[in-house]
């Protein structure tokens, strides 16, 4: 029985084309360019996407909200896919898919002259490749509806937001166990023949997540790596 491949990525929050280019040169399978909590606006996105050109690294952009115009724009600029935060229902998932797909599946506006088609030099055929869509499960409601969200055609993977999910469980004083929630998401994705993913801060956590069934694995972020590196330098210098 064939095994599902593991996609190793990392979070890019600073908005630097240099860091994006370095991540691509290092050989990550994918990077997450963060417009939700990142340090740059969407105006900085095209330069980061250009920096990945020529690499095999796929650019996934996390939009701050499921606005159809923003989803269309980042895909027109050349993102391979999108991640959308706080997807809580099948209806929300369906709206996201429609925003990301051309007719007849969706209602995304079509242009042959956008960057993703080399400004008109390489227009798509009648069936352009579909974008990758990762739906973030970050709330108790999302956990409860994970199976229905995964069942939506066009959703490629459920992606757990660990910080938001942990926060929701805590502030709502839920009896749900965090690890059980992870297993619920993985089972929902598996039942619908979809993948699932998560952000981890330590490489040591990867085996556990792989065992649960996560295959889209993001390891740490550029901001966190710089912060921890600077702190180690200072601690060493002052000791």
pLDDT score of 126? 81
Between β-strands 30-34 and 157-160, what pairing exists: parallel, antiparallel or unpaired? unpaired
Q: 45: pLDDT confidence band, cut at 50, 70 and 90?
A: very high
Mean pLDDT confidence for 208-226: 97
Please provide the average confidence, as pLDDT, over all residues in the chain. Answer: 96
pLDDT score of 203? 87
Mean pLDDT confidence for 184-206: 95
If DSSP codes are grouped into helix, strand and coil, which group holds residue 74? Answer: helix
Mean pLDDT confidence for 89-115: 97
Mean pLDDT confidence for 65-90: 97
Mean pLDDT confidence for 43-56: 96
Residue 65 has pLDDT above 60, yes or no: yes
Extract long-range pairs of 73-77: CB within 8 Å, 24+ residues apart.
73/42, 74/35, 74/42, 74/45, 75/100, 75/108, 75/116, 75/131, 76/111, 76/114, 76/115, 76/116, 77/45, 77/46, 77/49, 77/114, 77/115, 77/116
Instruction: Classify burial at 140, counting beta carbons within 10 Å of its beta carbon; exposed 0-12, middle 13-18, buried 19 or more.
Output: middle
Residue 2 has pLDDT above 80, yes or no: no
Owner of token pair 């997450």: 32
Calculate what percentage of the chain has a pLDDT beyond 90: 92
Give the predicted TM-score (pTM) of the model: 0.95
Of 58, 52, 46, the C-alpha closest to 9 is: 58
Q: Are 79 and 49 in contact (CB under 8 A)?
A: yes
**CA distances from residue 126 to 43, 112, 115, 153 in whole angstroms, order as listed:** 30, 12, 18, 20
Residue 101 has pLDDT above 80, yes or no: yes
Distance CA 75, CA 66 (A): 13
In this structure, whether the domain defined by 7-238 belongs to CATH 3.20.20.60 is answered with yes
Mean pLDDT confidence for 216-235: 97
Cα 67 off chain centre by: 16
User: Catalytic residues, which ones?
Assistant: 37
Task: Tokens for 111, please give them.
Answer: 């242009």
Q: 33: pLDDT confidence band, cut at 50, 70 and 90?
A: very high
pLDDT score of 1? 37
């Amino acid at each position: 029985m064939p095994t599902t491949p593991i996609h190793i990525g990392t979070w890019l929050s600073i908005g630097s084309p240099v860091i994006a280019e370095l991540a691509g040169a290092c050989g990550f399978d994918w990077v997450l360019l963060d417009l939700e909590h990142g340090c740059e606006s969407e105006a900085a996105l095209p330069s980061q996407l250009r920096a990945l050109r020529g690499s095999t690294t796929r650019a996934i952009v996390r939009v701050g909200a499921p606005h159809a115009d923003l989803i269309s724009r980042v895909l027109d600029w050349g993102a391979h896919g999108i991640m959308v935060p706080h997807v809580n229902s099948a209806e929300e998932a369906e709206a996201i898919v429609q925003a990301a797909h051309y007719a007849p599946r969706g209602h995304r506006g079509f242009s042959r002259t956008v960057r993703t088609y080399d400004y008109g030099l390489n227009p798509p055929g009648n069936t352009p490749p579909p974008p990758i869509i990762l739906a973030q499960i970050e709330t108790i409601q999302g956990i409860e509806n994970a199976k229905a969200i995964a069942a939506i055609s066009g959703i490629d993977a459920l992606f757990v937001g660990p910080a938001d999910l942990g926060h929701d469980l805590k502030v709502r004083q839920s009896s749900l166990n965090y690890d059980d929630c992870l297993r619920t998401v993985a089972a929902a994705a598996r039942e619908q023949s979809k993948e699932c993913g998560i952000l981890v801060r330590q490489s040591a956590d990867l085996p556990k997540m792989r065992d649960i069934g996560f295959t889209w694995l993001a390891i740490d972020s550029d901001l966190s790596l710089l912060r921890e590196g600077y702190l180690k330098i200072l601690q060493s210098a002052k000791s």
